[in-house]
Structures are given as structure tokens and as C-alpha cells.
Amino acid sequence: MSTLAKGRILVTGGAGFIGSALVWALNQRGYTDIVVIDFLAPGKTWRGEVAVSHGAGLKRLNLAPLKFAQFVEADSFRSRIARNANAFGRFGTVLHLGACSATTETNAAYLDDNNFACTKEMVVWSLAQGARFVYASSAATYGNGSAGMDDKSENLAALHPLNLYGQSKHNFDLYAQKNGLLRKIVRVKYFNVYGLNEGHKGDMCSIVNKVFEQINSTGRLKLFKSHRHDCRDGEQKRDFLYVKDAIEMALHFCEKATTIGSLFNLGSGKAHTWLELADTIFDAIGKPVQIDFIDMPEQLRDKLPVFHASGHL
């Protein structure tokens, strides 16, 4: 029996990109007893309210067509379950996607609290309820990939993320391993997910979204030059995964008992170059290929991997 049918479902980050798609997929399966947790701008209600900020307004649009039992602001949810673990009833499945996903975030204390401390609280609370805990880690934990990207390896200490976001995710993985929690939860590491409902992410939108918007609006594309001698301009690689495929994979792990205690890379298993992506989008839009290579900012050069794929490199 799927754990989805065993009780209420909690989705943190449920108004965001992958989270809203996940709630949509749950609705398609007939599940509506869902509690959605996220951050939205202050206001009386989110339904029909004029957006206070662009990002929050787009998040509201993400939620508008979805069916769920309750929306709770993330900070309120966190404080209330700290006082009373049963404040929102019991849950059969907890899908924890809520996090700061900005790879350029420099506030280490914020990331430590939001991505690490909060996740520790969530996993302890979920397991105490007997809920299945499916947690969204990140491919950013693999760093530049020099230590491999094997989701069956237990040598987590060998991984060295390139940015504070990746490190915050990695810190939880290390904590969970040290405290014997990895055997009790499901971890998924998303690679480069793209698709609908990305608009609120701003600069953190997927490269697929950014490439499409640039080409569609200007007829040209600006790509960062490679700063590595072993990689030509435009040959940087990423593993691109459509969001509907990503959520089908995540829900699979809610339905298979054998997946508990496992880590899974979620990607296509094949990396494609930025040039391949650009050519595909230029062709789909029906415009000639026009690419300008620009210098990558110094502060980003050591923070982004050149090659990143969910398969073995």
C-alpha cells in the first residue's frame, strides 16, 4: 500500500517550483488532504490577494489551481510544532522541499537555520509520527564532481560543495549519516530541473528558462565563457530534467517500501552542453543561432561546476 494513502500529506515548499508541481501531481492521483507549507508575503489571505511582491505574487499563482486542505506560513508551522508536535494532526507522508535554493546566497547563518537546522527538526518530528520522510537534497552537494556523483557511495565526507547552499544541504546529509537517520528516510538529489512555475525564482530560474526567455525576447543568447582550459566556451555540461519527470520520480519513492534508507540522483543520466541546449531552443523558436560569449564574473568562477550529470562521468 502506498504511504500516500496512509494519512495526511505534508509538502514543504509547496508554493514553489517543484513543490507546486508535486501538489498538482498528488491532485491528479486524487489526493487533496494536503497541508502546504511555504513563505508568502504578509497579508490577510493568499487567495485573490494583490501581490505585495513579484515573487510572492507568482507563488500565489502557483497555488491558485491546486486543491489542498490548508496553507501554513513556514515560520508559523515551525514554531507551532515545536510547542505541540500534533498541532496539525498526524501525517503519513512528509515531502520536504522547503529550502533556500539560491546558489549565490552568502548569508551562512540564514542557510544554516533554513536549510540545516529546520531540516533536522522536520526529520525528527516526521519520524516520531511514523511518517515517510522524503527529503530534497541537491546535486550541488557533489561540488565539482571530482569525487564522483555516485548515489550509492557512503563516503559523504569526500564531497566538497562549491557554494554555501550546497554546503548547507551537505551538512544535513552528514548529520543524518552520523545519527543513523539515513536508514530511515529517502533522500533525492535533484539535478537541473526546469519547467512551469519557475517565474518567482528570478535569477535562480533554470538555465533552460533563462535561455528560452533571452532568445524569445532578443533573438540572441549570452553565455558565459569557460574559464577552464579543458573546456571550450559553450561546452559546459548539465543534466537537464523536466519538472514533471522529477515529481514522478519523487512520488515513486512514496509508493515503494524498498526505497526507505536510500539516496537517489534525480536526472536524465546524460549531460548536455549549453550549446546543445541553445541550438535546440533556437530551432524550436524558429530563429537562427546567434550566441555572444561573455566573461563569467570572478565571484562565480569557483562556485559553479563545469560538468554536472546524474550518471557517471
* pTM for this predicted structure: 0.85
pLDDT of residue 47: 41
Query: Is 107 a residue whose pLDDT tops 70?
Result: yes
Query: Is 53 a residue whose pLDDT tops 50?
Result: no
Across residues 264-291, what is the average pLDDT? 91
User: What digits encode the pLDDT tens for the residues 243-270?
Assistant: 999 999 989 988 776 667 778 899 888 8
Find the range with the poorest average confidence among 1-10, 88-97, 155-164: 1-10
**CA–CA distance, 8 with 45 (Å, rounded to integer):** 23
pLDDT of residue 56: 61
Cα distances (Å, whole numbers) of residue 68 to 40, 54, 65, 92: 16, 23, 10, 15
Average per-residue pLDDT for the chain? 86
User: What digits encode the pLDDT tens for the residues 205-228?
Assistant: 888 888 899 999 999 999 888 877
Q: pLDDT grade, residue 43 (50/70/90)?
A: very low
280 vs 237: which has the higher pLDDT:
280
For residues 46 and 20, is the Cβ–Cβ distance under 8 A? no
Query: Is 4 a residue whose pLDDT tops 50?
Result: yes
Nearest to 244 by CA among 212, 259, 272, 266: 266
Catalytic machinery residues: 165, 201
pLDDT of residue 304: 62
Query: Is 19 a residue whose pLDDT tops 80?
Result: yes
DSSP letter for 29, please.
T
Query: Is 293 a residue whose pLDDT tops 70?
Result: yes
Query: Is 240 a residue whose pLDDT tops 60?
Result: yes
**CA–CA distance, 60 with 54 (Å, rounded to integer):** 10
